[in-house]
């Protein structure tokens, strides 16, 4: 099986703990065939990741490691953009001359507020529906390839509010997935959910089944690792889950063009 990790952070991200070279060496040891670095990026000065990454040095580091690992590991360059539906023109300006393979769009903040603070004073239904409405806005207008960890809020809300009730948010989730399919973008299975208190993937099986039933096909898998030790974590579980939900392919990217790989 061609194992790929399409959500990886290095020290080029503000919260990354390992250098690209160390992550690549660990990936090879784990039998991973392809890796895509998806460093945090934002053009909003209020967001923690703003101004951290130097895109030129990031590109240089990627190229150096491509040469070092050329016979052992395929290395792709991507970004995970916080709220890419906001500050759209400024974002396009910043990325205009960047040669990227892959872009993840994620909701990490709502109204410039971190998710763990956003949930304060809200009940379960209002918190989750508000989050999914923001994801819908992201799906409608962002220049991205996939939506990252579509139900991420449960990581921060689980201990205080519990997990979301799928049926209470099924309409807005369906709207998100239909928009994803309409725009020919995709979603990811993010295995970091297994490493959280929720102990399930992002997104849930219910979301994956709905995506499949609506005709969705484009899907990537990623560990969302921030250290070399966690690269590739639970990818096999993600593949098993995809098979269970009826998917036959996962996707890789080259210069933002998707390519299906049979599971």
Q: What is the 3-state secondary structure (H, E, C) of 64-126?
A: HHHHHCCCCCEEEEEEEEECCCCCHHHHHHHHCCCCCCEEEEECCEECCEEHHHHCCCCCHHH
Q: For 42-70, how does the pLDDT look when each residue is reduced to its tens digit (9 = 90+)?
A: 999 999 899 999 999 999 999 999 999 99
Instruction: Find the largest Cα–Cα distance for the chain.
Output: 53
Instruction: Say what the pLDDT of residue 151 is.
Output: 98
CA distance 256 to 250: 15
CA distance 51 to 10: 16
Residue with tokens 């090879």: 28
What is the average pLDDT across 219-246?
96
What is the average pLDDT across 155-176?
97
Using an 8 Å Cβ cutoff, are 182 and 216 in contact? no
Q: CATH classification of 4-262 is 3.20.20.140, yes or no?
A: yes
Instruction: Say what the pLDDT of residue 1 is.
Output: 82
DSSP 214: T
Q: For 61-102, how does the pLDDT look when each residue is reduced to its tens digit (9 = 90+)?
A: 999 999 999 999 999 999 999 999 999 899 999 998 899 999
What is the average pLDDT across 25-45?
97
Q: Is the pLDDT of residue 135 over 90?
A: yes
Helix 166-182 with 205-213: angle, nearest 10 deg = 40
What six digits make up the tokens of 95?
Answer: 């990325």
Helix 235-245 with 205-213: angle, nearest 10 deg = 50
Indicate the burial class of 139 (C-beta count within 10 angstroms; 0-12, 13-18, 19 or more).
Answer: buried
Q: Which are the contacts of 234, defined by CB distance < 8 A and separation ≥ 6? A: 191, 194, 195, 223
Helix 124-141 with 153-161: angle, nearest 10 deg = 170
Boundaries of every domain in the chain: 4-262
Q: Is the pLDDT of residue 155 over 90?
A: yes
Q: Report the chain's mean pLDDT, rounded to a whole number.
A: 96
Instruction: Say what the pLDDT of residue 127 is.
Output: 98
Instruction: Say what the pLDDT of residue 60 is.
Output: 97
Using an 8 Å Cβ cutoff, are 147 and 106 in contact? yes
| Count of residues in the chain | 263
What is the average pLDDT across 219-226?
98
CA distance 107 to 110: 7
Closest CA to 151 of 212, 102, 211: 211
What is the average pLDDT across 26-34?
97
The alpha-helical segments, DSSP class H, found in the chain are: 20-29, 55-68, 88-95, 115-118, 124-141, 153-161, 166-182, 205-213, 235-245
Closest CA to 191 of 139, 234, 253, 241: 234
């Amino acid at each position: 099986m061609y194992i790929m990790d399409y959500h990886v952070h290095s020290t080029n991200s503000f919260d990354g703990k390992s250098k690209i070279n160390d992550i690549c060496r660990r990936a090879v040891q784990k039998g991973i065939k392809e890796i895509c670095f998806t460093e945090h990026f934002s053009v909003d000065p209020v967001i923690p990741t703003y101004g951290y990454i130097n895109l030129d040095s990031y590109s240089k580091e990627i190229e150096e490691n491509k040469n070092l690992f050329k016979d052992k590991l395929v290395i792709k360059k991507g970004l995970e953009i916080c709220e890419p539906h906001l500050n759209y023109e400024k974002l396009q300006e910043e990325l205009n001359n960047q040669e990227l393979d892959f872009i993840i769009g994620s909701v990490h903040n709502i109204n410039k507020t971190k998710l763990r603070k956003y949930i304060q004073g809200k009940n379960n239904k209002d918190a989750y529906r508000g989050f999914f409405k923001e994801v819908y806005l992201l799906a409608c207008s962002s220049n991205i390839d996939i939506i990252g960890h579509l139900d991420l809020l449960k990581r921060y809300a689980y201990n205080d509010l519990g997990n979301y009730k799928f049926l209470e948010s099924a309409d807005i989730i369906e709207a998100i997935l239909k928009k994803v399919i309409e725009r020919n973008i995709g979603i990811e299975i993010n295995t970091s959910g297994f490493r959280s208190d929720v102990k399930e993937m992002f997104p849930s099986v219910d979301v994956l089944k709905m995506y499949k039933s609506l005709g969705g096909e484009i899907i990537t898998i990623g560990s969302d690792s921030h250290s070399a030790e966690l690269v590739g974590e639970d990818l096999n579980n993600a593949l098993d889950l995809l098979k269970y939900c009826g998917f036959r392919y996962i996707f890789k990217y080259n210069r933002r063009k998707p390519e299906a790989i049979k599971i």
